[in-house]
Structure 1
Amino acid sequence: MSHPSPRPGTPVRLLLTPRASRPVQVGLLPWIHRRPEFRAAVRDATTTGGRPGFSDAVIIAVVAQGLLPGLFNLVQSWVDQQRTEVSIRVQVADAEVELQVSGRTNPTSLLEQTTRALREATGGGADGAA
């Protein structure tokens, strides 16, 4: 039997893939590492056996769910500054969702969308009930 929603203490694994159409002024990883709470938890996927072809464009993060609002705010501010997009694959236990962050994305709604999608993926969301 699956849990109705991911437990708040469960770590979240994120795969962040920037989609820069032109050279960026500041890379996403250095941007995120400006905040000390993310330095140990967020790293370049190429140093950890990342997928070939993505080079340093893929960033892996494993963070507590309580850190997601801060991380999403950082990603959104980077997207706004660089005028680009980021694809974020979020995984909690066996549930996984993919989100696109653009200049029009609201970090608060991104968190709500993530929570709702993960709840549905774990069997605790609105499964057709309105």
Structure 2
Amino acid sequence: MGSVSPNRAGMASGIDMSARLTSLAINIALMGLILLEGVHSYLTRALSSFPETSSLRLLAAQVAGGNIGHLTRSGADIAAVDPHGVIVHAALVHGFGFVMLYGAIGAWAFALLSVAAFDAGMHARRQAPAADNGTRHPNL
């Protein structure tokens, strides 16, 4: 915000907020997908004898949505295989492990991009005094 002129500060603030909210919405959706796929992959391996793979996708969606207690009471197939919900709970933990990994990789990637961007800006500022012979703006 400090790098734009005062008459453009409102526009810059709006662009900044739009970028933040768009990024947030995309990442929430992506994290939900990663959670669902992590739960599904664990359930596919753990319940390889389960009769239908489409019901595993539905089961994964219910687990990722937080309906763990409901599953053992209503789903006869899963209640027979996992009466105490141990497999379902482990699947949820496995899915959240992937979500945390995505978050950590994303944070490190953006940190590296920030270092690269700010280092390039600092390098350009160090080169500028020699090129402009003292005509540089004092706030830069």
Query: TM-score category by the smaller chain?
Result: under 0.3
Higher strand share goes to which structure?
Answer: 1
Structure whose alpha-carbon radius of gyration is higher: 2
Greater relative contact order structure (CA < 8 Å, 6+ sep):
1
Compute the TM-score of the two structures, normalised by the length of structure 2. 0.26
